[in-house]
């Protein structure tokens, strides 16, 4: 069997990655810089995914990196379908205690910007996909952050957590609070609300991945919420506005 060119270890999954012959060397170099936090051979995993084969990228791999991130994310989610609770969310953790905040929202609503801001003060877990056990143990996915390139509407740059100065994930992050985020540029201070459970679940479930493949999925989510406290809605204007709120929840880093 041919050895993979890279092995991604994240979301409690080992994912072999095979690179194309054309442009493979440059692509490998680009991935090594951006995915370094997911390449640690010492990271324990319990699932091995089917290998992911990437197609040709030409001489410059940069335009393909965002798409490759999506392919890797999809492969990891598929490997954990029916095993983990997974949400389209960002997450950070107290680097000492492992207390973690998971914030869910639809794509394009500010999760990555918020993660980038909070990750300079708390351990970076993910800016896109959060996977956890039914008991709330989080399996980090410290992927490159997809940041929109200034002056464009569609192109994104994949930036490594190290290049952005984000703190590393603690050894065993565990969910402290699950929140739904939304932006309102008219607010001067953040608004914290606790909607009824059914209302909160109605907003949360669309931001889940492969939830129906789990046994009794709604009961699993409800039990998790019962252990960690009510799902809150945080409405804010700018990412920096939430720093004090997160510090109060997770403790000083």
Domain edges within the chain? 1-80, 85-253
Listed residue (78, 136, 88, 149) closest to 115, CA to CA: 88
Q: Kindly compute the dihedral angle of the four CA atoms of residues 215, 216, 222, 226, in this order, to the nearest 10 degrees.
A: -70
Per DSSP bridges, beta strands 156-159 and 145-148 are antiparallel
The total of other beta-carbon atoms located within 10 Å of residue 14's CB is 20
**pLDDT attached to residue 58:** 67
CA 97, CA 171: separation in Å to the nearest integer?
9
CA 171, CA 174: separation in Å to the nearest integer?
10
**Exposure string for 98-113, b = 16+ CB within 10 A, e = fewer:** bbbbbbbbeeeebbbb
CA 183, CA 215: separation in Å to the nearest integer?
33
Tell me which CATH code domain 85-253 carries: 3.40.50
What string of pLDDT tens digits covers the 253 residues of the chain? 689 999 999 999 999 999 988 778 889 999 999 999 999 999 999 999 999 999 866 667 888 899 999 999 999 999 999 999 999 999 999 999 999 999 999 887 889 999 999 999 999 999 999 999 999 999 999 999 988 665 545 557 899 999 999 999 999 999 999 999 999 999 999 999 999 999 999 999 999 999 999 999 999 999 999 999 999 999 999 999 999 999 999 998 7
Backbone angles phi, psi at 217, to 5 degrees: -60, -45
Backbone angles phi, psi at 132, to 5 degrees: -150, 160
Look up the pTM and report it: 0.94
Backbone angles phi, psi at 140, to 5 degrees: -60, 150
């Amino acid at each position: 069997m041919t050895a993979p060119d890279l092995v991604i270890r994240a979301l409690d999954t080992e994912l072999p990655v095979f690179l194309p012959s054309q442009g493979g060397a440059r692509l490998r170099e680009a991935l090594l810089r951006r995915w370094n936090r997911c390449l640690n051979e010492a990271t324990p995993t319990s699932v091995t995914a089917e290998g992911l084969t990437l197609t040709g990228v030409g001489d410059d791999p940069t335009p393909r990196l965002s798409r490759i991130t999506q392919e890797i994310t999809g492969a990891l989610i598929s490997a954990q379908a029916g095993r983990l609770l997974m949400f389209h969310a960002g997450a950070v953790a107290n680097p000492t205690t492992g207390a973690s905040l998971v914030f869910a929202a639809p794509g394009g609503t500010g999760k990555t910007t918020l993660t980038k801001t909070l990750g300079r003060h708390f351990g970076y877990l993910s800016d896109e996909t959060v996977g956890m056990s039914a008991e709330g143990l989080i399996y980090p996915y410290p992927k490159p952050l997809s940041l929109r390139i200034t002056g464009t509407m569609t192109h994104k740059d994949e930036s490594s957590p190290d290049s952005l100065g984000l703190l590393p994930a603690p050894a065993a992050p565990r969910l402290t609070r699950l929140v739904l985020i939304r932006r309102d540029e008219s607010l001067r201070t953040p608004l914290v609300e606790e909607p009824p459970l059914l209302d909160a679940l109605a907003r949360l479930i669309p931001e889940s991945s492969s939830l129906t493949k789990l046994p009794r999925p709604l009961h699993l989510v409800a039990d998790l919420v019962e252990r960690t406290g009510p799902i809150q809605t945080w409405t804010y204007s700018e990412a920096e506005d939430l720093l004090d709120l997160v510090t109060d929840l997770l403790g000083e880093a």
